[in-house]
């Protein structure tokens, strides 16, 4: 079986309730940051690693996204009648993604620095990893509140607890998805199984990262991009 990811799964099905009025008539990935929809910022990152396939799942108000993605080298899958969450959504997309590990990424964050997908690919060791999460130290995170999601050991293994923040980009093997009995489930459930086996790993992102899951995050992300020293 292939051990190197060559497909990208983008999660774009959520309701975007924290964005309030901004998602009344459009899905969150269509919200603009620096003049471009969030989905385009994510696609830039995905295109740069030259995957064979990019798949985007949709559910809430899918029409604007479907129209925007028309003509792009992207496959879309609309979850109906119910949203499947991240785990269920990834499993539902496997016929389009193919076998082996895949990149999976959220579409509501802006990255300023090296491409997080490329960093993950460089660090990927399938013999010992079932998933590799790109995480962000609190000092590098903008627009995020909370104590963090994981702690990381010296060899990169993750444990639950306050510390670094999951940034929304990962490489993940998909074998465990088939063992889940629920139709809709979070990838957190899959991570928990990997944690018990010591096969959930992380890397720390060296650049800056902004959570655009709330309206204030738009201005924060634009300010971050506008002041990036490159």
Distance CA 132, CA 156 (A): 9
Tens-level pLDDT at each residue, the chain (230 residues): 578 999 999 999 999 999 999 999 999 999 999 999 999 999 999 999 999 999 999 999 999 999 999 999 999 999 999 999 999 999 999 999 999 999 999 999 999 999 999 999 999 999 999 999 999 999 999 999 889 999 999 999 999 999 999 999 999 999 999 999 999 999 999 999 999 999 999 999 999 999 999 999 999 999 999 944 43
Angstrom distances, CA of residue 187 to CA of 23, 115, 133, 168, 180 = 24, 22, 12, 11, 10
Domains identified in the chain and CATH numbers = 7-226 (3.90.550.10)
- pLDDT (0 to 100) of residue 230: 35
Q: What is the DSSP letter of 229?
A: -
Q: Which helix (H) or strand (E) holds 133?
A: strand 131-136
| Closest to 31 measured CA to CA, from 228, 226, 219 | 219
* pTM for the model: 0.96
């Amino acid at each position: 079986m292939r051990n190197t990811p060559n497909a990208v799964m983008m999660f774009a099905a959520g309701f975007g309730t924290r964005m309030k009025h901004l998602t009344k008539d459009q899905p969150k990935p269509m919200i603009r940051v620096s003049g471009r929809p969030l989905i385009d910022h994510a696609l830039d990152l995905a295109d740069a690693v030259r995957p064979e396939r990019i798949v985007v799942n949709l559910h809430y108000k899918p029409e604007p996204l479907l129209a925007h993605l028309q003509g792009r080298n992207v496959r879309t899958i609309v979850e109906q009648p119910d949203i499947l969450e991240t785990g269920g959504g990834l499993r539902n997309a496997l016929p389009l993604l193919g076998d082996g590990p895949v990149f999976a990424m959220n579409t509501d964050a802006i990255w300023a620095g090296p491409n997080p997908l490329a960093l993950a690919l460089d660090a990927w060791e399938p013999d010992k990893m079932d998933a590799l999460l790109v995480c962000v130290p609190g000092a590098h995170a903008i627009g995020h509140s909370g104590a963090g999601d994981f702690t990381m050991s010296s060899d990169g293994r993750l444990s639950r607890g306050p510390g670094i923040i999951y940034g929304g980009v990962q490489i993940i093997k998909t074998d465990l998805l088939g063992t889940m009995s629920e139709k809709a489930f979070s990838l957190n459930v899959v991570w928990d199984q990997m944690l018990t086996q010591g096969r959930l790993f992380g890397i720390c992102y060296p650049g800056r990262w902004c959570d655009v899951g709330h309206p204030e995050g738009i201005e924060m992300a634009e300010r971050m991009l506008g002041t990036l020293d490159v």
